[in-house]
Structure 1
Amino acid sequence: MKELFKLFGIFFKIGAFTFGGGYAMIPLIEEEIVNKNKWIDEDEFLDIIAVAQSIPGALAVNTSTYIGYKIFGLKGAIISCLGVVLPSFIIILTIAKFLILFLNKGCVEKFFAGVRPAVVSLILVAVFKLKKGIKKSLFSFVIIITTIILILIFKVHPILIIIISGLLGYYFYKGVNVDESNS
């Protein structure tokens, strides 16, 4: 039970103090779950992030639920999901109640002007950590460049890109043990 409270506290803290959504939370989750508590290893964490990105729903909710389930089963999934969602729920309720009072205040705008660059840097940290899990090959490079072009220039929906990339990866790596050849 003590470990479940600890899990809840970790995800509550991450949910309460991370602006910018799921990608900004990745380095914090990794620090707490992989580095400090050693509940899972780095490779497994990267796999969890890949799965969490591939299924519908918010990345933070998917990741926390998956990690909680992996560590402590169904109770862990519920506890970690509540931990990461509850702070946002409470904050949104509070903001909604008092929004009218602060809507025209310059201090709110200045606060978020300071938060935005920090959020961008947290997302960049997540990108650099996630790139470790990418198989270094011409195929991966082509997928990355093609994805960027398709999204930024041709406005192709990311879900379509994920599905096609997954199918291409399955076809391209068919018969290859990706873990052993990932260097």
Structure 2
Amino acid sequence: MGNAYLQLGAAMCRTGILGYGGGPSIVPLIRYEAVTRYRWMSDEEFGEVLAIANALPGPIATKLAAYLGYRQKGALGALVGLLSHIVPTCVAMVVLYAFITFFSTSPVIRGMIAAVVPVVAVMLGVMAYEFGEKAVKGLGLPLGIGSFVLTFVLLQLVGLHPAIVIALFLGYGAFHHKLTQRWNARRLRKEEG
């Protein structure tokens, strides 16, 4: 297998092994591999892929691993990305389950597990801040803050499912993009003529 398969396998293996706390905690790791380390896509494109993946059913991390593999090397790349992401984790789960079952009453092990929670929270917070910063840069401060407040209200107060909120904002994003294109084209025509 070529270098691209090795890079894909290594990246997805790292995200699968180092990601602790479920799919949302793995997203910043996958983003780092895809955007920063290997530059397979831009940060904006990763945000779009993440939004679409969140709207689809199933675990987010495996969807992203399969998509990145497919993007790099087609169906075989998707298989390599997916297996590289889940097989090491499955093996580690079996080993760790035996270990934790044996040491489950140890306060040291409980402390180690509890110490990871703030790290995951910080990673998610940094990623949310960066995406929010890009949203404010693209939409402007009032619309960016308004979108944040509306998202909070829909998720926390109204109780809508996150997939519905994502679908609503994807629809709005398509509308906003078309409206901006038309506005820019109209402005350009006025300047030329």
TM-score range, shorter chain: 0.7 to 0.9
In the alignment, structure 1 segments of 5+ residues that lack a partner are none
Please list, as runs of the form range in 1=range in 2, the aligned pairs for 1:111-126 lying within 5 A after superposition. Answer: 111-126=112-127
Counterpart for residue 65 of structure 2: 64
Change (3 A) 1:47 1:172: closer
Change (3 A) 1:171 1:35: closer
Counterpart for residue 136 of structure 1: 139
Counterpart for residue 166 of structure 2: 162
Higher relative contact order, chain-length normalized (CA < 8 Å, sep 6+): 1
C-alpha contact 2:104 2:110 (8 A) present in aligned 1: no
Please list, as runs of the form range in 1=range in 2, the aligned pairs for 1:1-20 lying within 5 A after superposition. Answer: 1-2=1-2, 3-20=4-21
Give the Cα–Cα distance (whole angstroms) in 1 for the partners of residues 177 and 42 of structure 2.
24
In the alignment, structure 2 segments of 5+ residues that lack a partner are 185-193
Change (3 A) 1:87 1:4: same
Give the Cα–Cα distance (whole angstroms) in 1 for the partners of residues 69 and 80 of structure 2.
7
C-alpha contact 1:23 1:122 (8 A) present in aligned 2: no
TM (normalized to structure 2)? 0.78
Percent identity between matched residues is: 23
Paired residues in the alignment total 179
TM (normalized to structure 1)? 0.81
Counterpart for residue 37 of structure 1: 38
Give the Cα–Cα distance (whole angstroms) in 2 for the partners of residues 26 and 116 of structure 1.
15
